[in-house]
Amino acid sequence: MVTNSNYSLADLQHMLSERKTELDDLKREQAKLEKNLSAVKNRIEILTGKKDKRSKVHRVKRPRNQVSLHKTILELLGKNKAGLLLDDIKKQILANGYKTTSKNFRNVVYQTAYHSQKIVQNKKTGVYLLKR
């Protein structure tokens, strides 16, 4: 600590500013070195067989339903002889408790109906029906 009172306030503020700058520089250098050290440790673990080469990705467990989506759509269209629009099919499936984590479930329903040999779409009205 400075005990000499010959320093002006401006000198003291300048000294304080220099120390803060030096501290910030050291903290940045520390962060960079820690990052490099972490990479070295990770590589050592891979080479010694303590860690898998592929990074571990936390995956969300896919929900399982009792009945497939295809069968669910067929049952729904079997109950609605006049047919349903794609959005109505989607809403009713979800309302019946079908579990999904899809971000675009409407597209999943469309793909399932499109690839089904038992479902047709009326091009004029957009209604999906069971094939007769």
Return the domain boundaries, the chain.
8-54, 69-130
Per-residue pLDDT of 3-46, as tens digits, reads 667 889 999 999 999 999 999 999 999 999 999 999 888 888 88
Enter the tokens of residue 71. Answer: 């069968």
Pick the more confident residue, 60 or 129: 129
pTM of the model: 0.55
User: What is the CATH architecture assignment of 69-130?
Assistant: Orthogonal Bundle (1.10)
